[in-house]
Amino acid sequence: MPHEPNRTVAELTGPEQAPKASVFLEVAVLASLAGAVLSGVLFGWIAQEMREGEIMRFDLAGRAWVHQFFSPRMTFVMEALSFIGSWVLAAAFIVSLLIFWKRRWRRGLIWLSISMAGATVLELTLKFAFHRPRPSPFLGVALHSWSFPSGHSLFSFCFYGVLGGLLIHRVKPLLWRIAIWCFAVALVAAIGISRIYLGVHYPSDVLAGYLAAAVWVTAMVALDRVRSARRVRKSVS
């Protein structure tokens, strides 16, 4: 049997699994943990202000400011964005899983599955824990589910944000990476604004949804970086 030539760890694991330098990974772990802690602290502050009623002035001012842009055309756009944050998101999630499974992209399949499973648990747990009533809607009938945090904001951050992060690791041109990130950020922000415009959420609900998602996603990134760091240490030992 011929002797197999020595190969680097990156060659053995492939471009998707190739570990980075250990120093970079350690910095990434600390940055991810810091992001999770900061997001958690901000979420806790907003939740406390909401419970004490101190944030209502901000919420009412935010609702009034967004609603000043009311028009039939704007309403159509906002309803479409809200739809993208619910049923389109669910369909895109299923299609993405099928594509990743068919292309055997195990990393993407796992990341999307875990991020959305965690988002579901977070939304149900937090809404039940805080029991905040919905505001009076500007359009349509009142919703009877709890308001805090916004599920559209939470799910759109977890899905479109994670999907964007996965795609930029498969795209080499820097311009394409920037475009993907900008599109993902703009879409997530627009979905949150649509919920305020339609009057079904307070601004603090939307911010809390983003922060809850940020805690979950950055925690996953930190765990992934820890796993990668351990793999690097084993490869060099």
Q: What count of other Cβ atoms lies within 10 Å of the Cβ of residue 171?
A: 12
Q: Model-level pTM?
A: 0.82
What is the per-residue pLDDT across 80-133, written as a single tens digit (0 to 9) for each?
Answer: 999 999 999 999 999 999 999 998 888 889 889 999 999 999 999 999 999 999
Instruction: Provide the pLDDT confidence category of residue 233 given band limits of 50, 70 and 90.
Output: low
Instruction: Provide the pLDDT confidence category of residue 22 given band limits of 50, 70 and 90.
Output: low
Q: For residues 69 and 193, what is the distance between their CA atoms, to the nearest angstrom?
A: 12
Q: What count of other Cβ atoms lies within 10 Å of the Cβ of residue 130?
A: 16
Closest-CA residue to 224 (of 25, 36, 11, 16): 25
**């009533």: which residue's tokens?**
133
Q: Is the pLDDT of residue 195 over 60?
A: yes
Cα Rg, the chain, nearest whole Å: 21
Query: 15 is written with which tokens?
Result: 């471009």
Determine if the peptide bond prior to 133 is cis (ω within 30°). no
What is the per-residue pLDDT across 31-58, written as a single tens digit (0 to 9) for each?
Answer: 777 888 898 999 999 999 999 888 999 9
Domain segments of the chain: what residues? 19-236
Q: Please, are residues 228 and 20 in contact by the beta-carbon 8 Å criterion?
A: yes
Q: For residues 229 and 21, what is the distance between their CA atoms, to the nearest angstrom?
A: 8
**């999907």: which residue's tokens?**
163
Residue 150 phi/psi, 5-degree rounding, is -70, 120
Q: What is the pLDDT of residue 18?
A: 43
Greatest CA span in the chain, whole angstroms? Answer: 77
